Structure formats: structure tokens, C-alpha cells
Amino acid sequence: MIHSPLPQTDYMASGHVGCPGCGATVAMKFALRALGEKTMLVIPACCWAIIAGSHPQTSLKVPVLHTAFATAGAAASGLRAALDMRGDTETTVVAWAGDGGTFDIGFQALSGAVERNEDFIYVCYDNEAYMNTGVQRSSSTPFGTRTTTTPGTNWKHTRKKNIVEAFAAHRIPYAATASIAYPEDMIRKFQRARELKGGSRFLHVYATCPTGWRVPSDQCIKIARLAVKTRAFPLYEVTDGVRYTLNHDAEPPLPVRDYLSVQGRFKHLTDDDYGEIQAMVDEDWELLKRKVALAPEEARA
């Protein structure tokens, strides 16, 4: 018996080769439950290029177009145009890329596409480094992280790029963050994105990577929840680039240390480092709250 109000059909198959406890697979599962069968995915190089199945296998029950690393935005634009030419306005085109393919390598193509306000949903499932190739830092990797390219005392000393802000600055119709630990919220946002046809929608999905973050696989969802509860990853929506809505108040917040200290990639941090990161989180949160306060109540999402 199921009492859940969530959609129940899965468009993902077992037997995929995601690591045990992979947050990105949970993200795909929820996304497809929300989007349904009439969905076409564009996947550039990323973990999901593998999880979706090496030829001739597929783990997805919707069509997937595999593309080059830098081209998700462009390929999704083209797929949309092709569907429109065939008169198919029902199918939702979804670009599904990791943080490397979004924050770094695919940024140019995506920026161009959303500036044209192309009619697709772009999803960045964010595991905060190039995990598929062996945990190299990306511009999504947070301050304080050790990766294979930021090892030892050379852990990353710059901040994570705020990608939602970047696309809000493009004034796209809809941009939002979502977390695999909050399925109701996440599924609602995907459904909303699907309904807002006609322009670019950007979803930034937090996806734990047990392998790259050096955490036990069973902690996948717990850590995602901690990211929200400590305000390290706030859940919010931006409509038309200016109207901000906070979806989870995280009140009272847990100290960000609670989130960092359970992960191997942050094990080296000192009390001072924790203090510095807490100040960053507090600053970002205050900024976000001010933007939320700017939007008139009735205009919020």
C-alpha cells in the first residue's frame, strides 16, 4: 500500500552501472517520475553518459541523445527545433548534465541557448567535481574541498560558482535549486518546469557522490538533507530572473560544520576553516534573503 501523493511510475531500469548509493541516479529517478514518458534527454559527457548505458544498453525508458561535453545547450536547442519541425510540441526536451558540463565546459553553449530563450529544461545534477573521470575539481567544487587536482594543502581555496545566479542574470523564465533529500519539493519543481513551456528553464539539482566525497553510500540522502539544513545548499526558485522564493527556511540552521565534518573530502579542515566557510554560508544566505524580500509577495512563485 502506498499513501504517497508522488507520481509512482519509474522510467529508469535496474542494472545500470552507477556507483552504490549514487545521488545522481536518485535525481534521475525523481526527475523522470515528474516529467513522464513524453521526455527526450540530451546527455553530454558526465557520469550519466555511462549510467544511461554503454552501447547497446540503455537504463532509461525515454529516448536519450548522447552528445559531446561542451554541447548540451546547443544539442538540446537542435533537438527542440527538430521536434517542432515534426509538429511535436508535447515532448519535453531535457538537457541533463553534470557540473563540469554546466559550470565549465558546457557553459558557453548553455549561455548562448538560454540567451535565445530556447524551449527546454536544462538540469545540472551537481556532484561538485568531475567524478566520472576521477574526481577532478570543477568550478562547482566548494571552498575547502580536496580533489585529485586539489590535493593535500592545495585544497580548493576559491568559492563555488553560483550557477543559479548566473542563469537568473540571463533573465530566463524559471531557475530553481532542488535536492534529492526533498523529493516532494524536487518533483514539484520538475513538474512546474515542464509546464512553463516556451522558454529556458534551469534546474540545479544537488546530487551526493559517495565515491568522490568519501562518504558511506548509505549516507547519500542524509548528507543531501544536511546541506539544506545547514543552508549550504538552499532550496529556492527564481522566476523571470528577479522574483525569488525560498522553499525551505532551514530554521534554526545547523552549523555548516555538521555537514562538512561527515565527509572525507573535508576531513582536513581546521576550526578556522570551518569558521571561514560558515561566514560564507551566512553571507550567501543573507544575500538570498534580501533578494527574496525584494520580490512582492503576490509575485512570488
Partner 1 sequence: MRISRSNVSTEINKTGSWRFVRPGYDEKTAPCSNACPVGQDIARIEMLMGQGMFPAAWETILRENPFPAVCGRVCFHPCERVCNRGEMDSAVGIHHLERFVGDLAIERAYALPHPFYGDEAETDRRATGGKTVAIGGAGPAGLAAAYFLARLGHTCDIYEADSEPGGVLRWGIPWYRLPEDVLKAEISRIVDMGVKIYCQKPITRDFMARAREQYDAVFLGCGYGRSLPLWIPGEEKVLNGLAYLHDIRGGDNTCTGGRAAVIGGGNTAIDVARSLTRLGVEPILVYRRRRQDMPAFDHEVEMALAEGVQLMPLVAPVRIDGGDGGMVLTLQRMRTTRMETAGGRCRVEPDGDRTETLMVDQVYSAIGAEPGENWLFPPEHQPGQLRMSHCILWEHPDARLPVVFGGDLTTPVKSVTDAVASGKQAAMALDTRFRHGGKAIPERLGACRVGDGTALSMEIYLSGRRKTRNPAIVPFSALNTDYFAPAERQAPPVLSPETRCGSFEEVEGAYGRDAAVQEASRCFNCGICNDCDNCRLFCPEVAIYIDGTRCINLDYCKGCGICVVECPRNAMTLEEEAS
Establish if 85 lies at the interface with partner 1 (CB under 8 A): no
Establish if 6 lies at the interface with partner 1 (CB under 8 A): yes
Establish if 294 lies at the interface with partner 1 (CB under 8 A): no
Cα(245)–Cα(288) distance, rounded to whole angstroms? 9
Q: Which stretch binds partner 1 (CB under 8 A): 21-29, 111-119, 150-158, 237-245?
A: 21-29
Establish if 3 lies at the interface with partner 1 (CB under 8 A): yes
Cα(220)–Cα(182) distance, rounded to whole angstroms? 12
**Which phi and psi angles does 141 have, rounded to 5°?**
-65, 130
Q: Which stretch binds partner 1 (CB under 8 A): 23-31, 69-77, 95-103, 235-243?
A: 23-31
Say how many C-beta atoms besides its own lie within 10 A of residue 249's C-beta.
Answer: 11
Establish if 13 lies at the interface with partner 1 (CB under 8 A): yes
Cα(124)–Cα(105) distance, rounded to whole angstroms? 12
Establish if 75 lies at the interface with partner 1 (CB under 8 A): no
Residue 36 CB, nearest distance to partner 1 (Å)?
A: 16
Residue 250 CB, nearest distance to partner 1 (Å)?
A: 13
Residue 20 CB, nearest distance to partner 1 (Å)?
A: 4
Q: Which stretch binds partner 1 (CB under 8 A): 38-46, 48-56, 76-84, 122-130?
A: 48-56
Site for partner 1 in 139-168 (CB under 8 A): none
Count of residues binding partner 1 (CB under 8 A)? 38
Residue 220 CB, nearest distance to partner 1 (Å)?
A: 5
Establish if 204 lies at the interface with partner 1 (CB under 8 A): no
Cα(258)–Cα(6) distance, rounded to whole angstroms? 30
Establish if 21 lies at the interface with partner 1 (CB under 8 A): yes
Cα(153)–Cα(163) distance, rounded to whole angstroms? 26
Cα(159)–Cα(168) distance, rounded to whole angstroms? 19
Cα–chain center distance at 134: 19
Residue 152 CB, nearest distance to partner 1 (Å)?
A: 29
278: CB partners within 8 A, 6+ apart: 255, 256, 257
Position among 71, 89, 172, 183 found at the interface with partner 1 (CB under 8 A)? 183
Helix or strand run (H / E) with residue 176:
strand 174-179
Site for partner 1 in 254-293 (CB under 8 A): none
Establish if 16 lies at the interface with partner 1 (CB under 8 A): yes
CB nearer partner 1, residue 56 or residue 152: 56
CB nearer partner 1, residue 25 or residue 92: 25
Position among 37, 84, 195, 218 found at the interface with partner 1 (CB under 8 A)? 218
Identity of the amino acid at 33: R
Is residue 143 within 8 A of residue 277, CB to CB? The reply is yes
Cα(283)–Cα(174) distance, rounded to whole angstroms? 24
Burial class from Cβ neighbours inside 10 Å (0-12, 13-18, 19+) for residue 139 reads middle
Put residue 208 in one of left, alpha, beta given phi > 0 → left and psi -120 to 50 → alpha: beta
DSSP, collapsed to helix, strand or coil, labels residue 11 as: coil
CB nearer partner 1, residue 59 or residue 278: 59
Site residues (vs partner 1, CB under 8 A):
1-4, 6, 10, 12-18, 20-23, 25-26, 29, 53, 55-59, 64, 180, 183, 210, 216-222, 225
